Amino acid sequence: MSRRKQIYEGKAKILYEGPEPGTLIQYFKDDATAFNAQKKATLDGKGVLNNRISEYMMLRLAEIGIPTHFIKRLNMREQLIKRVEIVPLEVICRNVAAGTMSKRLGIEEGERLPRTIVEFCLKRDDLGDPLIAEEHIHAFGWASEAEVDEMIAMTLRINDYMQGLFAGVGIRLVDFKIEFGRLAAGDGHQIILADEISPDSCRLWDWETHKKLDKDRFRRDLGDVTEAYSEVATRLGILKQPTVGGDNIAPFPSRPK
């Protein structure tokens, strides 16, 4: 691993040059950060769980026709992905009020939204990923109108599918953040789903008890963070039984029941 060329290091992942042109290796770290990296910790086994959960979500989404950057999982912490130019936006999709939406608009956390809402934030750590309007995206050229339309359409399909998938295992998909990339294709490019989908980037609540099974456990000092991630993996059928270290992870992701 040490001889590979590192392309980028983020808060929770590292990207290395891949074995073939147009590929990268995405390595999932155990590091957790919140509030623009003001809060930091290392959570044993988080990277292993996120690698598996993200693999599972990307494979299921590919099955319903969502193009993704995922090629294959290489080992416990790494996956081979397509190299893309990341669109400098975070696309946030919300079904239930929580987090910054509750704070910003004074809506009680847990209130069901009148309809699904898609928001855009600019990917700028130094500015705290500010919420922006579509007007900003077009005016500053961060993405074209066609790309924005495509990202919104894909986000809504992803939301529909994931809401059903999680509901089937007793989990409410409150909200999530995704990122898209531009993949060179012919003379132009194609917009594909990139980055990861994991409890680091989703709010997942137990359907009955509303227990948080996501990164809010870390952000809000609720404890048992990796235990909660491992519960998500177990319910999805990725883990045979809850674990923290990831030792009993099933060799292949099983299909949703």
Binding site for ligand 5GP (CB under 6 A): 90, 92, 98-101, 129, 175-177, 200-203, 215
Amino acid at 210: H
For the CB of residue 176, give the shortest distance to ligand 5GP in the complex, in Å.
5
Locate 232 and state its tokens: 């998500």
For the CB of residue 241, give the shortest distance to ligand 5GP in the complex, in Å.
26
Q: State the residue number with the nearest CB to ligand 5GP.
A: 99
Buried b (16+ CB within 10 A) or exposed e, 31-62: bbbbeeeeeeeebebbbbbbbbbbbbbbebbe
Residue 177 or 235: the one with the smaller Cβ distance to ligand 5GP is 177
For the CB of residue 74, give the shortest distance to ligand 5GP in the complex, in Å.
22
Give the whole-angstrom CA distance, residue 221 versus residue 113: 26
Give the Cβ contact number of residue 1 at 10 Å.
10
Residue 118 or 189: the one with the smaller Cβ distance to ligand 5GP is 118
Give the whole-angstrom CA distance, residue 93 versus residue 186: 31
Q: How far is CA 206 from CA 94, 146, 177, 209, 219, in A?
A: 16, 36, 19, 6, 18
For the CB of residue 201, give the shortest distance to ligand 5GP in the complex, in Å.
4
Locate 159 and state its tokens: 């939301």
Residue 189 or 211: the one with the smaller Cβ distance to ligand 5GP is 211
Which helix (H) or strand (E) segment holds residue 31: the answer is strand 31-34
Residue 100 or 234: the one with the smaller Cβ distance to ligand 5GP is 100
For the CB of residue 195, give the shortest distance to ligand 5GP in the complex, in Å.
8
Residue 101 or 232: the one with the smaller Cβ distance to ligand 5GP is 101
